[in-house]
Structure 1
């Protein structure tokens, strides 16, 4: 972010960083630490924050919780849910069926590069996603 003269506004940058870190529950001794020194969950939160500071209209999360612990997963799920509630278009790509069931209101099951089917609302379950991926019977309601 820059000031009206094209120079960095370091005060504004620090304020926005602190606000985003608080919103995303980044746990770090200091915001000046290198991201690589943080836990996997906090690294992921920082990546989310960096992207969100650009005020996107859409976000694609590809395996958003890979490599993070269960607590961090739930925090990241809450962030993704809140972004969708705020009107951000959200696409989640995940090999974790539980993640899809938890986050999505529409699921396209893809296997070997082909869409095997679509689930919406109450149809979304791990069993139904599995059925579609494997190309077996129609999903159960």
Structure 2
């Protein structure tokens, strides 16, 4: 009696290398996401020819298009802007205030913020995006 064996081909997919690839992608995105600056409010900045980066002690002052003021992601009314800014600055360190203001806001809004720095002898820098 002849017994026939079942010699059907079964397709298999090797998934061991796929798990390695997924692990490396996960690590890559985790590392990249930690490099993003979490203290930034998204806005379109004015453009400039030169762009200098600084590694000093920074305090970020952001102004939105609706004229809302944020000091390091904390919303502050314009009337309390000066007192809050002075409380955040450490006089023993040379801290710089980075102003992030949209390009389409009026110049008077920028001047109002800069006058706070002039009255209190603070160092202000205007953030721009490269052209």
TM-score calculated relative to the size of structure 1: 0.27
Structure having the higher helix fraction is 1
Radius of gyration: which is bigger?
2
Structure having the higher strand fraction is 2
TM-score calculated relative to the size of structure 2: 0.28
